[in-house]
Amino acid sequence: MASILVVDDDACSRTYLVALLNRAGYRVQEACSGLEGLEQVARGAIDLIITDIFMPTMDGLELLAVLDKLHPTNKVIAMSGGGLAMDRKLALHAAHKFGAVALIRKPFNVREVIRTVATALQGVA
Amino acid sequence: MNASQSEQIQNTEEGYPDFAKLTEMREELGDHFLLVMQHFQSGMLARPQKIRQAFQNNNPEQLALEGHSFKSLCRQLGLSQMETLSVTLESMGRSGQLDGAAPLIERLLAYGLQAHCELQKYCLACGKPSSVQ
């Protein structure tokens, strides 16, 4: 069973995504900030990280940059509601630049989430 | 119906989530649905309060962040006017211009309360009591 870490400061989005992934059969951990996510990644045994882009303290792009240096083999999916600070295209571009394999959009489309996660985890037992 | 009454009705109706979306979520989440709804319900009360707190603290950056987060939650539940208000407040926060934000925040609080009640009623109708007050 693949293990996924969900990083999002918004408890509502995080809980929703964790529930979706649990129901889809994945083992899921959660973190409410980039820093907390980094700590969990350092403990190992995570196949995929799904991180929000806009977060206080350490945002998703900063997390991606650190992961790219410290844990380059970890697969990462970025998620964003788009919005004013950065539109979806820019978010996708930035996320790819920092090593994200895909982008999930908020609000969540369940089929899109499950498909994107399954694609990212191809080859993981 | 005059403009004031029309506005009042519009406001009163705003706190109603998209029940088709809720039903869809319920099917998608199964046993996890009520847990997620508890978070959504508490968010409907707490997030507008955080927006108001940021405004009262004259902290535009925090207001923008809270508006940004709440926007996603509103969109997830199909609360389009609340989403629009959140986007507007996020924009005001980012620009640092908070003039006129107070009445928008009060509307958001009122809508949030309505939405909280509607979610609670929906959860009760699902057959299990909701623990979030």
pLDDT in tens, B8-22: 434 445 788 999 999
Nearest residue to B15 via CA among B70, B80, B90: B80
Is residue A73 in some structural domain? yes
C-alpha distances out from residue A53 to A26, A50, A77, Å: 22, 10, 10
Q: How many CB atoms lie within 10 A of CB A90?
A: 13
* Residue A9 with chain B: CB contacts under 8 Å: 69
Q: How far apart are the first and last CA of chain A?
A: 6
The mean pLDDT value for B81-103 works out to 95
Is the pLDDT at B32 greater than 50? The verdict is: yes
Question: What fold, for B3-125?
Answer: Four Helix Bundle (Hemerythrin (Met), subunit A) (1.20.120)
- CATH number for position A70: 3.40.50.2300
Nearest CA in chain B to A8: B69
How far apart (Å, rounded) are the C-alpha atoms in residues B119 and B125? 10
Q: Which domain holds residue A56?
A: 3-120
Is residue A72 in some structural domain? yes
Domain boundary assignment for chain B = 3-125
What is the per-residue pLDDT across B44-63, written as a single tens digit (0 to 9) for each? 999 999 999 999 999 999 99
| Mean pLDDT (chain A, rounded) | 86
A10, A12, A85 member nearest B94 (Cβ)? A85
Asked if A107 is an interface residue toward chain B (Cβ–Cβ < 8 A), one would say yes
The mean pLDDT value for A86-115 works out to 80
What is the per-residue pLDDT across A24-68, written as a single tens digit (0 to 9) for each? 999 999 999 989 999 999 998 899 999 988 887 777 788 888 888
Which residue bears the tokens 């996020």?
B90
pLDDT recorded at residue A72:
83
Is residue A125 in some structural domain? no
Question: Are the Cβ atoms of B75 and A20 closer than 8 angstroms?
Answer: no
Total domains in chain A come to 1
How far apart (Å, rounded) are the C-alpha atoms in residues B11 and B115? 12
Write down the ipTM of this complex: 0.72
A19, A56, A83 member nearest B36 (Cβ)? A19
Interface test mutation site (partner A, options B25, B26, B28, max chain A beta carbons within 10 A): B28
Question: Are the Cβ atoms of B76 and A22 closer than 8 angstroms?
Answer: no
Question: Are the Cβ atoms of A84 and B72 closer than 8 angstroms?
Answer: no
CB of B55 closer than 8 Å to CB of B105: yes
